[in-house]
Chains A and B, each alone.
Chain A
Amino acid sequence: MSFRRFLPRFVLVFFLTFAAAVMFLPIFWTFTTSFKTQPEIVEVPPAFFPDSFANFSNYTQVFERLHFWQLYANSIAFSGVVLIASLLFASLAGYGFAKFRFPAREVAFFLIVGVLMVPFHSVAVPLYRWMDAMHLVDTFGGLVLPMLVSAFGVLLMRESMTTIPNGYIEAARIDGSSELGIYFRIILPMVKPALASLAIIKFMWTWNEFFWPLLIINTPTKAVVTLGLSYLSNMYFKEYHLITAAATLSLLPLVVLFLLLRRWMVEALTGAGMKG
């Protein structure tokens, strides 16, 4: 490649890399702070790197105090179950709204997306009482039930399914395929990027959910990671050395999942699945 062609391309990548580094910096900062001791953190001015990267005391403290393995297990179960239900419900509904006509369709769609527009805090207490009426307080079912379907998921699925050319669907119908068959064999494969995106997003939102687990869970062994993190602040002060460690631990599974799914997502994004 000639230098004339190379230079602008390189410059673009350079600036993008700089921007990306700036975006990543706060996370890196949290990571390095998690290896500092308390006096190091309070120190003036604060050092960029900790005295020792081998200072795992914050991490061991977090694991001891917060039973982090249990928190991980609970969060994984919570987010995982919600993820699967969401993908299913949202894609079914998204397909229905995108490709079918029935009376009151817009009203029904609005009633679902409208849920997004209501602040959760105001619905939380009546919801809690509703769960209590069903004897689901302090249970996995109670934790999971209000999170199962995401209005956002329905929105996303509908948006991505609208662009599927009707030709495919018609052809399949003429071939005698059942509606569910069409859904599984034709529609779903065509919206892989949207599904992968929804998967990451829903898993991540559920993983980071704090208020609902706070209300519904009583038993410490059933707590999730976000609750664990909140135990590191109290009325008087925040234990930053532990919070940064716990935050890093909390982010880790998300990053792993993200790295695993991104290949699928990117491939589907750029690959043949898109337009023909």
Chain B
Amino acid sequence: MIRAARITILVILSVLLVAGSLFASGQQQEPGQAEVPTVKITHWSHWVTNNKYYEPYWSELAKTFNALHPEVNFSIDVVSIPYEGYEAKYSSAFEAKQGPGMFNGMAHVWAGQFDVAAPMPKDIADKLDSILIGASRPYGVFGDQRYGIPVEGGNFMMMYINVDRFKEAGLDPNNPPKTYDQMLEYAKKLTVYDKNGNIVKPGYGIRYKGHPFGIADKVAPFFNAWGAEWYNWDEKTADGYLNSPASVAALQFYAGMVQDSKVASVELDNPAAVFGQGLAGIIFRESWYSAWLSQNAPNIDFKVYPLPKEKMESGFGNNFPWSIMVNKDLNPTDKKWLWEFVRWYVNNADVRKEHYVKSEMLPPFSDILDDPLFKSMPEFQAWKTMSEGRAAPTYYNPPAQEILVVIGEATLSAMYGKQGAKAALDDATKKVDAILARYK
């Protein structure tokens, strides 16, 4: 009886194994036709999961392009790479010359650090520069050379407020704070404490969890508004920048929200969730967040406004300038046709408009903004105002990630009260100088 059971189990397992092997490894590709050159481009992106249409749509666009060009068999195959670990996958593939033809990444990494991105032909780059909104123009650029097409137009932070919480606190949701000092006053009114003095509903949702470079990304608008810069790439120095009085003031304000005025909590969830739960009164987030809210937290009544100013406007700025780039090691035929495709894409406003309307995403292109879909997005007005405003300093250089981590750690140190803002920034400056020194 038991023997029979065992044999049955073994048989089932073997059958499963065989079946699995037969169906594993997917289908093989069919060889292309000989007459017309076949150009099959593989596109790698870790962005596929961010938006249902944007990346997969490149395959569709390739088909349209292909129909217009009978002299070639052109197609794009989009491969989704998990965001967790994408750097490892890209770098190991590129190093072994197994990289994709086209990919989504940051130019200062793949062109600056790894030198695997192909420079964009001048005519396409010029055309792009003429149609890109100011906020997106630095994306895809390293040094003086453009390598990639910016992906998202709304990729900078804006201020989200919870209408109900504003009303609860006696504030007018149509009258947002215009300066950071005002914002602090608002936050003080918005914060709700429990009987032990712990924050139950924060006035400002602060980011303290997760990787330090995320922390640095979120504190950046504060530095920008105080007119502080992190470092000077040309001189390869952070001394006088990261530890300047303006920097110290900015970090003091930011950490003060946790330590002094207690309007932000390091014990609740991350800002996106805490706002979605209806707890936070104000958070800073990019344009994608409004779509997330309507899907995940439809009960939250929110408004989006431009970021406040202090000494100057916070400006639009971002530490993740995603752009679509081309592999410089592609064979000449493939590369030629891929740039043709890009040229067609950049030169055809209708094509680009369809791309972004289908993706329901704010475009980085100024010539297609007249679609009612974009205007209907809650963040549209704030976005337009900010994108026509000040450009915050950008730090798109090869050691960017490492430096972001240092700044993130200094920020955390101040937020948790381990160090004062000045001490934290002095330490950070030394570390950043050491990093920059290797590039001299």
Chain A interface residues toward B at CB < 8 A: 38-39, 42-44, 70, 72-78, 80-81, 124-125, 128-129, 132, 137-140, 210-211, 214-215, 218-222, 227, 230-237, 260-261, 263-264, 267
Contact = CB atoms under 8 A, between A and B. Distances in A.
Interface residues of B, number: 51
Nearest to B322: A235
Interface of B: 2, 5-6, 9, 13, 16-17, 19-21, 23-27, 42, 46-50, 79-80, 82-85, 88-89, 91-93, 95-96, 98, 100, 272-273, 276-279, 288-289, 292, 295-299, 320
A231 B24 contact: no
Top 3 A-B pairs ranked by shortest CB distance? A221-B26, A230-B82, A76-B20
Contacts of A222: 24-26
Contact of A80 (B9, B20, B50, B96): B20
Given A77-B17, A214-B89, A218-B42, A38 B24 contact: no
Contacts of A129: 92, 95-96
A124 B96 CA distance: 13
A124 B95 CA distance: 13
A168 to B, nearest CB: 23
Given A77-B21, A235-B46, A236-B272, 11 more contacts: A39-B299, A42-B297, A44-B278, A74-B23, A77-B20, A81-B21, A211-B85, A218-B79, A227-B82, A233-B49, A236-B50
Given A39-B299, A221-B25, A235 B83 contact: yes
Contacts of A140: 24-25
Contacts of B48: 231
Contacts of B42: 218
Contacts of A235: 46-47, 50, 83, 320
A143 to B, nearest CB: 9
Contacts, number: 131
A237 B21 contact: no
A145 to B, nearest CB: 14
Contacts of A220: 26, 79-80
Contacts of A234: 46-47, 49-50, 83
A211 B87 CA distance: 12
A76 B296 contact: no
Task: State the main secondary structure of chain A at its contact with B.
Answer: helix
Contacts of A227: 82
A138 B276 CA distance: 40
B88 A74 contact: no
B50 A70 contact: no
B9 A260 contact: yes
B234 to A, nearest CB: 30
B96 A132 contact: yes
Given A39-B297, A74-B20, A221-B26, A233 B89 contact: no
Contacts of B292: 236-237
Contacts of B289: 236
A69 B53 CA distance: 23
Nearest to A43: B277
B54 to A, nearest CB: 12
Contact of A128 (B13, B25, B96, B279): B96
Contact of A132 (B2, B20, B27, B98): B98
Contacts of B88: 124-125, 211, 214-215
Nearest to B49: A234
A233 B83 contact: yes
A232 B49 contact: yes
Nearest to B84: A230
Contacts of A38: 295-296
Contacts of B16: 76, 80
B295 A80 contact: no
Contacts of B50: 234-236
Instruction: Identify the interface centre among A73, A125, A233: most chain B CB within 10 Å of its CB.
Output: A73
